Structure 1
Amino acid sequence: MMKFMTLSNKNKLIALATCAVLISGCSDDDDDPMIVQEDAPAPVVMQTFDVTVTNLSANQPLSPVFIATHGADQSLWMAGAPASVAIEKLAEGGDSSDLTAISSLTHTVNGNGPIMPGMSETLTLSINEADVASISLATMLVNTNDAFAGVNNYDLTTMAVDDSSMMTLWVYDAGTEANSEAKGSMPGPADGGEGYNSVRDDVDFIHVHPGVISMYDGLADSVLTPSHRFDNPAISVKITRAQ
């Protein structure tokens, strides 16, 4: 008896044959010259630095410390030149918000609060190895009109793991506010007066601070006492590469 293939079975055979042809014409993806194998990205290497700031003064609290890393060709201030508004705000009122907003800084960190006389604070920065270059630091002596101290453009690239650098810092006068020491002109606890004032009524260039005079030294309108005097250097900083 002759057997007839139904249309349904015929269609199934055609489909199977077509599939076999398609499969045999395909090559392994790994051998396809059109597929590019991408290399795995290089792992990110971090470097960690601990920065310890110590207040050496007798009665000058420090504003919360501002620390930043940046390129080797950048400085936050320059002695003999006018202070930027960002430095003026820090030196007159302890406000580092304008410094933090500088777009060219690669990393920034701010202290947790004022550093009282004789006290220290350690802040840690973890930096992508590709961004490691220079570090700067700034803080205000708050029982003054516009005194600040800091590290300006210190090179980190030569520091190996466990290396430390110890330095003492001179106090600078921002030159933006006259050192009247008058009531209402200083933000610290000795006065509780104003901080930043946009009016510049001093020499308008940064220089080493001559120190405070106080009411007991003949400045009749001063609200400061001999305890608020400071000798240079008034701050110490230790930078350690921890990792």
Structure 2
Amino acid sequence: MPNLIKHYKKVLLLALPLALSACDDDDTREVIVEVEVPAPEPTPVDVSYEVTVVNLTNGQPVSPPAIVLHTDGNLWAVGQVPSVELERIAEEGSSESFLTLGLASAGGDGPITPGDQQTISVTIEDITDAKLTIAAMLGNTNDAFTGINAWDLSQLAVGDSWTTTRPAYDAGTEKNTESAATVPGPAASGEGFNPTRDDSGFISMHPGVVSSDDGLSTSALTVEHKFDNPVIRIQITRTE
């Protein structure tokens, strides 16, 4: 029945000018029906960046950098309690869970040895004002990490680059014992992530490595593993 009614209305509409014409040859009218045509959906635009991380230390491998693009808040900051996702990076260099915290992310291919560098590409769709956060562990430490927090990418047009150097931070989740049992890097091959927190509990600037050479008898580290700030250099380039 609904189809018949619809058909009937259509026929009546078409017949209307004829009926009017039959009544009065001089009184012909046209019926104009306006139909709204939806605007085409805009094609999504990819916004891409290349991030190059250079290891500036003498004896600290930098874990594969975790790069996250997000729009709100901080994924870490000095003075804050670190998330478990950041703790996993700072204590064992594991970034899988940290990379899930944003709208887009990318991880490094492997550790960056002293003096080497690595370039990582990351793409986000239709967002030019995203924030960039990076985190990576200094492997021959208990819970030292480095990176950048919530840097505003809206400053970069296509082809623009920005370079910065970054210091080492202490996650505050594990005491800096430097022992063979607790340092996961190649200098000791000790334990990685441990959910028990026994240090300050908040992120701070890292005080540095003491080492056995400078009097910490229980340290598995040597003067070779000491570092000065900055520990990495970061270059960010918008490519698309």
User: Distance in 2 between the 1:74 and 1:52 partners?
Assistant: 24
Q: 1:84-141, CA deviations, whole angstroms, 9 ceiling, x for partnerless residues?
A: 1111111001111221232xx1101110111111010101112223364211100000
Distance apart, 1:143 and its partner CA: 0.4
User: Distance in 1 between the 2:179 and 2:47 partners?
Assistant: 46
Question: 3-state DSSP class of the match of 1:87?
Answer: helix
Distance apart, 1:148 and its partner CA: 0.1
- Structure 1: unaligned runs, 5 residues or longer: 1-21
User: Distance in 1 between the 2:113 and 2:177 partners?
Assistant: 23
Answer with 1 or 2: which has the greater Rg. 1
Normalised TM-score (structure 1): 0.83
2:85 maps to 1:86: yes
Question: 3-state DSSP class of the match of 2:163?
Answer: strand
Q: Which stretch shifts more, 79-88 or 204-213? A: 79-88
Matches within 5 A, 1:1-243: 33=34, 36-71=36-71, 73-102=72-101, 105-130=102-127, 132-243=129-240
- Aligned residue type for 1:82: V
User: Distance in 2 between the 1:127 and 1:107 partners?
Assistant: 6
Normalised TM-score (structure 2): 0.84
- Aligned residue type for 1:164: S
- Aligned residue type for 2:87: E
- Aligned residue type for 2:156: M
User: Distance in 2 between the 1:125 and 1:36 partners?
Assistant: 40
Question: 3-state DSSP class of the match of 2:127?
Answer: helix
Q: 1:39-97, CA deviations, whole angstroms, 9 ceiling, x for partnerless residues?
A: 211122222211000000011101111001001x3111121222111111110011112
- Aligned residue type for 2:75: L
User: Distance in 2 between the 1:130 and 1:96 partners?
Assistant: 24
User: Distance in 2 between the 1:125 and 1:81 partners?
Assistant: 26
Distance apart, 1:37 and its partner CA: 2.2
User: Distance in 2 between the 1:85 and 1:40 partners?
Assistant: 44
User: Distance in 2 between the 1:127 and 1:176 partners?
Assistant: 32
Check the 8 A contact 2:47/2:127 in 1, yes or no: no
Question: 3-state DSSP class of the match of 1:86?
Answer: helix
- Aligned residue type for 2:74: S
Distance apart, 1:38 and its partner CA: 2.2
Alignment coverage as a number of residue pairs: 216
Q: 1:111 to 1:209 in 2, by over 3 A?
A: same
User: Distance in 2 between the 1:51 and 1:130 partners?
Assistant: 17
- Aligned residue type for 1:67: I
User: Distance in 1 between the 2:237 and 2:224 partners?
Assistant: 32
- Aligned residue type for 1:170: P
Check the 8 A contact 1:106/1:131 in 2, yes or no: no
Deviation >3 Å, runs of 4+? none
- Structure 2: unaligned runs, 5 residues or longer: 1-10, 16-31
Distance apart, 1:194 and its partner CA: 0.8
- Aligned residue type for 1:179: N
Distance apart, 1:32 and its partner CA: 6.3
